[in-house]
């Protein structure tokens, strides 16, 4: 009887083991992130190096606000990125939620968003523009490297 119990435990134990590994914030390489993923990243940064324009995360707290902002996109854009093997985007950063808009953002080197945006090399969303979901250089946490960006279009060239 004890032998059978030991045999069952020896065979079954590996199947009952719980493995705990930290999950990455966003497993998509430079893909559109959820508002929750973006808020998690923003909350993990030094608050003195993040500028929130308006209340970009209001939709997470108020279901009625979610309905009103269905066509809105939240974008975080930063002026620091590294070229190390663990390429990352880092503050200072700005986060904003907007509908159709052009955001002049000179000095932007990387960004991520909750919907499709374009990033352009001239102000007023002109010049050469590229769309976020076809990012050429993916960084950690769903960011896209966007060196030379001077403006970001939401609902314009996207």
The domains of the chain are located at 24-154
pLDDT score at 83: 64
pLDDT score at 26: 40
pLDDT score at 103: 95
pLDDT score at 37: 93
% helix, strand, coil for the chain, step of 5: 30, 40, 35
pLDDT score at 64: 54
Q: How far apart are CA 104 and CA 77, in angstroms?
A: 11
pLDDT mean by block of 10 residues, the chain; 158 residues: 41 36 41 89 94 80 53 90 72 92 94 93 94 86 91 80
Instruction: Using CA atoms of 153, 139, 87, 52 in order, give the dihedral in degrees to the nearest 10.
Output: 50
What backbone phi and psi angles, to 5 degrees, belong to 114? -90, 0
pTM score over 0.85: no
pLDDT score at 88: 83
CB 139, CB 87: distance < 8 Å = yes
């Amino acid at each position: 009887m004890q032998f059978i119990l030991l045999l069952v435990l020896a065979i079954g134990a590996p199947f009952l083991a719980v493995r705990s590994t930290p999950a990455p914030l966003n497993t998509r390489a430079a893909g559109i992130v959820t508002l929750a993923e973006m808020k998690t990243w923003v909350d993990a940064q030094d608050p003195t190096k993040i500028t929130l324009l308006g209340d970009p995360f209001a939709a997470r707290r108020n279901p009625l606000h979610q309905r009103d902002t269905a066509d809105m996109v939240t974008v975080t854009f930063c002026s620091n990125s590294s070229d190390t093997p663990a390429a990352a985007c880092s503050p200072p950063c700005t986060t904003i939620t907007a509908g159709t808009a052009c955001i002049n953002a000179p000095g932007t080197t990387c960004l991520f968003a909750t919907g499709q945006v374009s990033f352009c090399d001239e102000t007023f969303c002109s010049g050469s523009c590229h769309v976020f979901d076809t990012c050429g250089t993916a960084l950690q946490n769903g960011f896209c490297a966007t060196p030379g960006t001077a403006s970001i279009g939401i609902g314009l060239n996207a």
